[in-house]
Structure 1
Amino acid sequence: MENLENLFNQFVQSVVTLQEALNVSFGEALTETFDNLENDRIKVEMGAPDQETVAKLGQLYQELDYDNLSPKIKSQLFTFLTLKAVNEDGRDFNQMPTPPIIATVLALFIQKLLPNQKLKIVDPAIGSGNLLYTVAKQLKAENHSKDNFELYGIDNDEEMLDLADIAAHLNKLPIELYHQDALLPWMIKDPDLIVSDLPVGYYPIDENAENFATKSDKGHSFAHLLYIEQIIKNLKESGYAMLVVPKSILSGKTGADFMPWLSNKVYLKAIIDLPDKMFQNNSNQKTILIFQNHGESAYSSRVLLTKLDSLKQEEALFKLNVKLNEWYTETND
């Protein structure tokens, strides 16, 4: 662990050196640093970085011994550095990497509800890709290292997509990435599965929000509600969505309007509350919402209502898996 911390600090030094030379954000310098390391060359455009910085970077890169680092270590370091980029650059909290335990929960449900299927998987708010890639790696491990999926990602932030592109490369996961507003029409047709940690907040383009039934009557509409509606519009018949959403959409005035609408549009499958300790205050609490689109092979069933009661991964996941198996057996008899 100490060695990983030392490596992290060495990488930070390399990124900051490039950041200062190019006068860019930490995130942009991070993307360029890994691009340099992966291609074994230091990119120079219009004289930047200058020769002195190129020489300094060459020395720093040599000390990293990048080519002899394992793919796992490279991927871990990049995830930690991405988290630092979000903090350093003062980015929106929506762009923070999703905790790995959430991806593990989604992978458990995918293996149970969509076993041994070739899946087209989309994340319409991919950010740096942490959630999608962690899910994909776990599915790959369960499938004897075979890629039994096609991955697609959408985001309106080009810098985050650059980070997602690097992360996919480091994880050896082929993906198609689209730079667009995910609340406009998608080029990706009929995904079998949509996984996403949805952005929370208000959507600023009122003219486009008018195209959605979940728009607000006054003022800006909630982006997370519009995203769910857009996901249902694009999801394949009988396809599944597994989403991290604000817990507030399930109750109160928002829930009273939204949940009956949602229940008419899809078959709710599971609602898994996340541990309270994951969030600084109650208003930020999130839950995992799982539903199936209507279609020939879709069916209504009792909704699994439970809570991931701990951040201790093995213990919490064992309890959840027991409940999942009991629920699945009951609803598929």
Structure 2
Amino acid sequence: MEDLEHLNELYLSFEEVVDILRKELNVTFTEALVETFDNLEHQKIKVEANAPSAKIVELLTKKYANLEYEKLETSVKSHLFYLLTLKAADVDNFNSTQLPTPRILATIVALLWSKIVPQTAKEVIDPAIGSGTLLFSLIDQLRFLNHSKNSFVLTGIDNDPAMLDLADVSSYLNKLPVDLLRQDALQPWLTGKKDVAVSDVPVGYYPLDNNAKNFDNCQLSGHSFAHILFIEQIIKKLKPSGYAFLIVPKMILSGKEAADFMTWLTKKVNILAVVDLPDDLFANMKYPKSILVLQNHGQKMQLRKVLVTKLGSLKDKSSLVKLNVELNNWVNE
């Protein structure tokens, strides 16, 4: 209880210094958040064109000292940054594709990963990295399972510079180096094929119709679905026998609209698992989501019965235990 109270006090203190900088520089909460952690990491307040003013520099210097930032554990810094990113999402009105992925989803993906992905799979990409919550939370848990060894080579793609700034801060707070690339992930990637892709797939329409024509799943008229093209792009960029753990809108997996895509998908990859996520996990239930697990064709492809299951409400602590049991039974079969 004391730890929770202390974390809440820390959060309020961090929120205060971010807000002071935001108002002084007249920038977004996101920009002030990134600069605050840069200041704290470098133990120096960045001043450009006399901003922030000497008065505010003096004020922040005192408040920074009270935070005792250098004494905080890495996990605490990372958690505070995550909470403040949620605050930024609210204050700066992030759109649905910018919202941080709930950390619990990284736990579910880590459970799935630990059952099927060989330890030789090290090159991992998130082509819609956003603030980095999903990728870094996942790798942190895998690192814990592997007794803190981190031999992963990480890459993240996003076309939003503000998101990449957040991912950059999250990278050094988690001590997980990552190669961040700013580009449209549906254009040719500025990196090679990877062992594993993990992503909270952005949902919506893709506006660049000419580029959409480079994909099998483009629409004959009008804009194509970005999430469908995104999955196709990921499959193209997986190594033979490579894996993908994708958080996708449930509507693309079942129903009338999904028929053509699923027919195409089953020809291209081996579908390993579909885990429907609980309805109460997302504030916006316009698009209920599932975790789709794929393996690319190749000599090491695993042929197994497809696991199709629905995760119970995560308010019930036994839900993850039940999922783990189900996964073990599935792997043993």
The residue aligned with 1:296 is 299
Structure 1 runs (4+) deviating above 6 angstroms are none
- Tell me the TM-score normalised to structure 1 length: 0.96
SS at match of 2:271: strand
Is the aligned partner of 1:162 residue 2:165?
yes
Is the aligned partner of 1:273 residue 2:276?
yes
Given the superposition, is the C-alpha separation of residues 282 and 31 from structure 1 closer, same or farther in structure 2, using an over 3 Å criterion? closer
Q: How does 1:214-229 map to 2 (within 5 A)?
A: 214-229=217-232
The residue aligned with 2:38 is 35
Is the aligned partner of 1:129 residue 2:132?
yes
Deviations 1:155-195 (A, max 9, x none): 01111111111111011111111111111111221210000
- Tell me the TM-score normalised to structure 2 length: 0.96
Is the aligned partner of 1:254 residue 2:257?
yes
* CA positional deviation for 1:148: 2.9
SS at match of 2:245: strand
Give unpaired runs (5+ residues) of structure 1: none
Deviations 1:88-114 (A, max 9, x none): 111112222112221111111211112
* CA positional deviation for 1:116: 2.5
Q: Distance in 1 between matches of 2:90 and 2:206?
A: 23
Q: Distance in 2 between matches of 1:63 and 1:147?
A: 33
Is the aligned partner of 1:112 residue 2:106?
no
The residue aligned with 1:325 is 328
* CA positional deviation for 1:232: 0.5
The 10-residue stretch of structure 1 (191-200 or 252-261) with the greater mean CA deviation from structure 2: 252-261
Q: Distance in 2 between matches of 1:210 and 1:46?
A: 47
Is the aligned partner of 1:46 residue 2:49?
yes
Q: Distance in 2 between matches of 1:187 and 1:282?
A: 34
Counterpart residue type for residue 65 of structure 2:
Q
Is the aligned partner of 1:238 residue 2:241?
yes
Q: How does 1:200-215 map to 2 (within 5 A)?
A: 200-215=203-218
* CA positional deviation for 1:320: 0.9
The 10-residue stretch of structure 1 (264-273 or 146-155) with the greater mean CA deviation from structure 2: 146-155
Q: Distance in 2 between matches of 1:315 and 1:119?
A: 31
Q: Distance in 1 between matches of 2:151 and 2:108?
A: 19
The residue aligned with 2:198 is 195
Is the aligned partner of 1:96 residue 2:96?
no
The residue aligned with 1:61 is 64
Counterpart residue type for residue 255 of structure 1:
A
Q: Distance in 2 between matches of 1:162 and 1:86?
A: 14
SS at match of 1:3: helix
Given the superposition, is the C-alpha separation of residues 101 and 216 from structure 1 closer, same or farther in structure 2, using an over 3 Å criterion? same
Q: Distance in 2 between matches of 1:216 and 1:41?
A: 52
Tell me the matched-pair count.
330
The 10-residue stretch of structure 1 (88-97 or 156-165) with the greater mean CA deviation from structure 2: 88-97
